[in-house]
Structure 1
Amino acid sequence: MAVRVSVAAANTIVRVCLLLATAIALGDGLQLLAQGGPADADNVHRFLAGVYLGWAPLFFWTAATIRRQGVLVHFLAVPIFLGGIGRLISFAQNGIPNPAGVFLASALLEFSLSIVIVRAHATALRSRRVAAAA
């Protein structure tokens, strides 16, 4: 049996996920900007810190305006999912850093957020279309 979710509930789920993505982008971006990386890759680490920090306002704005958003939300889920894939590749090549639980939880959160964002937003979009057609 399919569970019916209201547009408001689906939008709230997407909004919360996007706000979590905002916090992750800000936290990781600021940490990476301050910390840098190994000397031979420092410029790449700090460049990516700027990219993370640049994504944060977009995630936040999209969360704030979720009722007006369409396919943009799906596009925003893609870099979150790809970040999780990047973590898994890193784990496979370099092992899981300590504390392992924190890094495994981060990867799980990235995959979960992206999937929940896409599913909840698709539900909201479908519900909007059904309501408009009625």
Structure 2
Amino acid sequence: MTYSFERRLLQLAILLASIVPLGMGTASIVAGATVIRGVRAPVPIDLDSHFRYLSGLLLGIGIAFLCALPRVERAGIVFRALGLVIVAGGLARSVSLLQYGPPGPGHLFGLGMELVVVPLIVIWQARIQRRYRETASAE
């Protein structure tokens, strides 16, 4: 597979994966904590405030991934930093899973994104960055 084709595939994978934080971040900011299964209004104000704050972070993560797309081969630091934040969140979510049991399907999907998909994308980005540097140094 050529470098250019693999780079485009990575960009497409990131674009598709970004739909999750962009969509859920936006929906959760708009709806607040009531977007969670079993949570009904009125929601405690501090819970709603914290939930919307974290939803804003989720939206920001999605935007940061999209901003890195055009120069994905040079955005290693961005991908590693975002990956660290996301995996840390997934590990925190795992504490809840161990303590209280499995959440609903949407949250299990999120856990899979956080602990499987994102690390694979970070590794893939590092491969593209390495191939880019090899190509640039050969010229």
User: TM tier, shorter chain?
Assistant: 0.7 to 0.9
TM-score, scaled to structure 2 = 0.74
**CA RMSD in angstroms, aligned pairs only:** 2.3
| SS at 1:36 equivalent | helix
- State the identity as a percent: 28
1:117 matched to 2:113: no
User: Shift of residue 9 of structure 1?
Assistant: 4.1
Counterpart mapping for 1:8-87 below 5 A? 8-37=4-33, 38-39=43-44, 40-87=46-93
| Equivalent-residue separation in structure 1 for 2:109 and 2:60 (angstroms) | 24
| Equivalent-residue separation in structure 1 for 2:9 and 2:82 (angstroms) | 15
Counterpart mapping for 1:100-115 below 5 A? 102-115=106-119
User: Shift of residue 116 of structure 1?
Assistant: 1.4
Residues matched between the structures, number? 128
Deviations 1:68-123 (A, max 9, x none): 43422222222222232122112112221234xx4333212222222212221121
- Cα distance change of structure 1 residues 73 and 6 upon mapping to structure 2, 3 Å threshold: farther
- Cα distance change of structure 1 residues 47 and 77 upon mapping to structure 2, 3 Å threshold: same
40-49 or 17-26, which deviates more: 17-26
Mark the runs of 5 or more structure 2 residues left unpaired by the alignment. 34-42
Which of 94, 99, 106 is residue 100 of structure 2 equivalent to?
A: 94
Q: What residue number does 2:136 align with?
A: 132
TM-score, scaled to structure 1 = 0.76
Q: Which has the higher contact order (CA 8 A, sep 6+)?
A: 1
